[in-house]
Amino acid sequence: MVAKKGGNRGEDAEDELKREPLQAILLADSFATKFRPITLERPKVLLPLVNVPMIDYTLAWLESAGVEEVFVFCCAHSKQVIDYLKNSKWFGQPNFAVSTIESHDSISAGDALRLIYERHVINGDFILVTGDTVSNMPLIQALKEHKERRRKDNNAVMTIVIKQSKPSSITNQSRLGTEELFMAIDPGTKQLLYYEDKADDRKGTISLDKGLLMDNASISLHNDKQDCYIDICSPEVLSLFTDNFDYQHLRRHFVKGLLVDDIMGYKIFTHEIHASYAARIDNYRSYDTISKDIIQRWTYPLVPDVQFFGNCASKLERRGMYRASEVGLSRSAQIGPFTVIGNGTSIGSNTEISDSVVGEDCVIGSNVSIEGCYIWNNVTIENGCKLRHAIVCDGVIMKSGAVLEPGAVLSFKVVVGQQFIVPAYSKVSLLQQPVIKDSDEELEYDDNSSGIIGIPSISSTPEKLNDQFGTKLSDSQRRAGSEVGDGGVGFIWSLGEGGHEEEWRHSVAPIPADKLIEIIRTATDELEISNQDGNFLPPSGELEPDSVDNDSDEDARDDYSYFEKEVEATFLRAVHENVKEDHIILEVNALRLSYNLTSTDCASALFYSMMKLASDTPHDTPGELVKNVATVITKWKQLLKDYLSSIDEEIEVILKFEELCLESTKEYTPLFVQVLHLLYDQDVIQEKAILDWASEKEEAEESDKLFLKQAEKFIQVCINILK
């Protein structure tokens, strides 16, 4: 850091805070596809959250927390985001500079940060957030801690904000619909030591490196914390992303990379907030949860009846109901608790609305029942419709009697036909579901493939929108209509890779009770299974060495048979293509090295290949077979001898031959002595090897001595020769 020279460090810190304007990077792209199909037409940060675009919450919080300069990184629908910001009041604030950085080819947060690094706009510690963060936390304390740590230890590059939140014991997901998070934190220094968010459920244990306990006498493991995705970073973070160009995801790559690989000793710390609110909209469930939190005023001052930039205040009434000034409400309509009704909306008679958000200029007919829904702007709901826990985007028309079952999402301008029932968890869009080309790429949106050129910004008037869509939809309208009922327009998307099974996890609808019971049941089963497993677990919880040995034994055997096959193939190629002996030796040696075997194995494998070749060569009588063997051995004995450097290898060859006679090529059984003699004559094996083999066999069982007896005379000859 720059300010290190001064005498009084405390003063320095304050100076520093004053001198350098506090900067923030706001990623206006989540680089995820969780909000599809809505995000095909509008970027996630501009989606209304309790009638205010998400990005306004984030910017309002950053401003109130003392951030002076914000760089908004736009990628998907960058034009829409920039247009929105230009027309908003955020540009031109006296002490709050908002500028945009546009990119068209970033596919991850990593790319975004690398691009920002190249721009050289960040010159001190900065706040890194995404544009879907809702928070009211003060940053001063966290920043102070971060800077103090930095002064002591230059490697403390990042402070992440966490909050108490116990995941459900049934579904193992947090109330925000995110996966449960396991963290290990040093209780004294608050250093983050372990981070696991994509929990692998099959693994019942968390593995902490033993080295962690070398440095820390105690560490705390947490399953009750939530990551707020608010990070206070030092400039090194940007350069780290540039140095490690494969880092894409902030948590999965960057945090894990720093924790596991221990790069340069960089450290990450945590800051836990207790009283204030911080959460990120990651999926439909968190959209629902955070909306309710806003309505219930946990996010004060970011609540509907307090005017902050971009929204028009509504009035808080009894039972947590917010109503804008101009609402056309029928006398007989019942507006339930925790509901927000936007400006210019009219509601017909006998309509019941509860726990819902209704946007601006909506027309809701009579006898409509709405519960737990998020209805955006300019929506028309005709008489007798029923909506449960659904998201209805701008400009949707629901014809009379249509029904939305829990978890349904209607994207922009969808028309639901009369009496049509949209099934639970279905997503309806005017756009056809893109064919999944490459699942690796987590693109929120691809400018060219979506097929829409001039996406209207939300400042456009409804008429204009209708015109544009009217021309474009002419062709597909009829086809699409059939999917959402009579007179409807839209495609029902088939469910994503997760399938129907997983949809309930991240939907706006509460998890159905029968699902919960099902999970409890499977969980108990699993417990029982793991219980049984537990009994087999060796006492210390480590793998027993025995079992490892068994595995490796099997591997070794497998290895040898593969090796033998490869050697045979090599040899046959040599025979048929007249490859030079030297080359075969080279190839066999290479094989030997890659399988990690000895030259004895090479000898026996080569011998096996030769005998196989001899027996495969057509022959009628045993005599001809012996001739074949003689030809092959004569031709290739040099090669074989190359591997017969000692008596041991020669014995191995005899043993291999024995095995061959007994198992694979029974033809040789009566010819054992003849072939043995042949090998002896060709100088492939010496008398000593035969005698050693014989004495080795002496002690074997009677059944194994079959060949020994056959060769008795020959052995006698050998003995005499040696004498």
Q: How far is the CB of 708 from other proteins (least distance, A)?
A: 43
**Shortest Å distance, C-beta 208 to other proteins:** 4
Site string for other proteins, 458-497 (x = CB under 8 A): ----------------------------------------
Nearer to other proteins, 332 or 522 (CB): 522
The smaller minimum CB distance to other proteins, of residues 9 and 521, is found at: 521
Cβ 126 to other proteins, closest distance in Å?
31
By the rule CB under 8 A, 260 interacts with other proteins:
no
Interacting residue with other proteins among 539, 620, 621, 701 (CB under 8 A): 539
208 scored as a contact of other proteins (CB under 8 A) = yes
* Closest CB 176 distance from other proteins, rounded Å: 17
Determine if 219 is a binding residue for other proteins (CB under 8 A). yes
Considering the complex, state which of residue 221 and residue 569 has its C-beta at the smaller distance from other proteins. 221
* CB-based contact 212:193 (threshold 8 Å): yes
Report, in Å, the least distance between residue 538 CB and other proteins. Answer: 9
Segment interacting with other proteins (CB under 8 A) among 126-134, 211-219, 496-504, 687-695? 211-219
Number of residues that bind other proteins (CB under 8 A): 44
In the complex, least distance from residue 212 CB atom to other proteins, rounded to whole angstroms: 8
Q: Is 180 in the site for other proteins (CB under 8 A)?
A: yes
Using rule CB under 8 A, residue 207 touches other proteins: yes
Subset of 132-171 contacting other proteins (CB under 8 A): 166-170
In the complex with other proteins, the residue whose CB is nearer, 219 or 421, is 219
Q: Does 213 bind other proteins (CB under 8 A)?
A: yes
What's the min distance (Å) between Cβ of 270 and other proteins?
Answer: 13
Residue placing its CB nearer to other proteins in the complex, 7 or 539: 539
Q: How far is residue 172's CA from residue 444's CA, in Å, rounded to a whole number?
A: 26
> Between 526 and 581, whose beta carbon lies closer to other proteins?
526
Cβ atoms within 10 Å, residue 313: 15
Query: Pattern of binders to other proteins over 354-373, x per CB under 8 A?
Result: --------------------
CA distance 355 to 372: 5
User: By CB under 8 A, which span of 101-109, 212-220, 327-335, 693-701 interacts with other proteins?
Assistant: 212-220
Q: Burial of 170 by CB count in 10 Å (0-12 exposed, 13-18 middle, 19+ buried)?
A: middle
Question: What is the CB neighbour count within 10 angstroms for residue 174?
Answer: 23
Q: Give the binding range for other proteins (CB under 8 A) out of 214-222, 360-368, 588-596, 633-641.
A: 214-222
Question: How far is it, in rounded angstroms, from Cα 482 to Cα 489?
Answer: 8
Burial 572-608 (b: 16+ CB within 10 A, else e): eebbeeeeeeeebbebbeebbeebebebbbbbbbbbb
Residue 254 DSSP label? I
Half-sphere exposure of 154 (CA within 13 A, CB side): 6
Taking CB under 8 A as the criterion, the residue among 83, 102, 145, 224 binding other proteins is 224
Element (H, E) at 152: helix 140-152
Q: What is the DSSP letter of 251?
A: I
**Interface region with other proteins, contact rule CB under 8 A, candidates 94-102, 486-494, 534-542, 568-576:** 534-542
| 47-106 positions binding other proteins, by CB under 8 A | none
219 versus 655: smaller Cβ distance to other proteins: 219
**Nearest to other proteins of 173, 289 (CB atom):** 173
Q: Which helix (H) or strand (E) holds 155?
A: none
Which neighbouring-strand residues pair with 492? 428
CB of 167 vs other proteins, minimal distance in Å: 8
Among positions 79, 86, 151, 222, the unique one binding other proteins when judged by CB under 8 A: 222
Tokens of 279: 């959460």
Nearer Cβ to other proteins (220/349): 220
Q: Is 499 in the site for other proteins (CB under 8 A)?
A: no
| Least distance between other proteins and beta carbon 273 (Å) | 17
Nearer to other proteins, 220 or 239 (CB): 220
Question: Where does 119-155 show beta strands of DSSP type E?
Answer: 126-130, 133-135
Which range binds other proteins by CB under 8 A, 18-26, 35-43, 437-445, 537-545?
Answer: 537-545
Instruction: Find, among 164, 220, 228, the residue nearest to 193 by Cα.
Output: 220
Task: Tell me whether residue 168 or residue 449 sits nearer to other proteins (CB atom).
Answer: 168
540 binds other proteins (CB under 8 A): yes
Looking at 204-212, 295-303, 344-352, 437-445, which segment touches other proteins (CB under 8 A)? 204-212
Question: What are the DSSP E strand ranges found in 309-426?
Answer: 315-317, 321-323, 328-329, 334-335, 339-341, 346-347, 352-354, 357-358, 363-364, 369-371, 374-375, 380-381, 386-388, 391-392, 397-398, 403-404, 409-410, 415-416, 421-422
> Contact at 8 Å (CB) between 704 and 659?
no
Select the residue interacting with other proteins from 265, 454, 499, 541 (CB under 8 A).
Answer: 541
Task: Look at phi and psi of residue 395 and say left if phi exceeds 0, alpha if psi is from -120 to 50, else beta.
Answer: left
Alpha-carbon distance 219 to 259, whole Å? Answer: 15
- Asked if 49 contacts 294 with a C-beta cutoff of 8 angstroms, the reply is yes
Distance, in Å, from the CA atom of 519 to the CA atom of 513, rounded to the nearest integer, reads 10
Q: Are 341 and 323 in contact (CB under 8 A)?
A: yes
Per CB under 8 A, the segment of 197-205, 356-364, 428-436, 575-583 that binds other proteins is: 197-205
Strand order, beta sheet including 225-233: 97-102, 69-74, 23-27, 126-130, 225-233, 156-164, 267-273
Interacting residue with other proteins among 92, 204, 328, 462 (CB under 8 A): 204
Stretch that binds other proteins, among 219-227, 261-269, 608-616, 674-682 (CB under 8 A): 219-227
| Nearer of residues 180 and 601 to other proteins, judged by Cβ | 180
Under the binding rule (CB under 8 A), the answer on residue 217 touching other proteins is yes
Cα torsion 199, 200, 201, 204: sign? negative
Does position 520 interact with other proteins (CB under 8 A)? The reply is: yes
Q: How far is residue 469's CA from residue 42's CA, in Å, rounded to a whole number?
A: 15
CA 59 – CA 44 distance, rounded (Å): 15
206 binds other proteins (CB under 8 A): yes
The smaller minimum CB distance to other proteins, of residues 172 and 450, is found at 172
Smallest gap from residue 223 Cβ to other proteins (A): 5
DSSP helix/strand/coil, 196: strand
Contact 358, 372 (CB under 8 A): no
Which CB atom, from 200 or from 663, has the smaller least distance to other proteins? Answer: 200
- State how far the Cα of 552 lies from the Cα of 550, in Å rounded to an integer: 5
Which residues are near other proteins by CB under 8 A? 166-170, 172, 180, 182, 184, 187, 199, 203-210, 212-214, 216-224, 516, 520, 524, 527-528, 530-531, 534, 537, 539-542
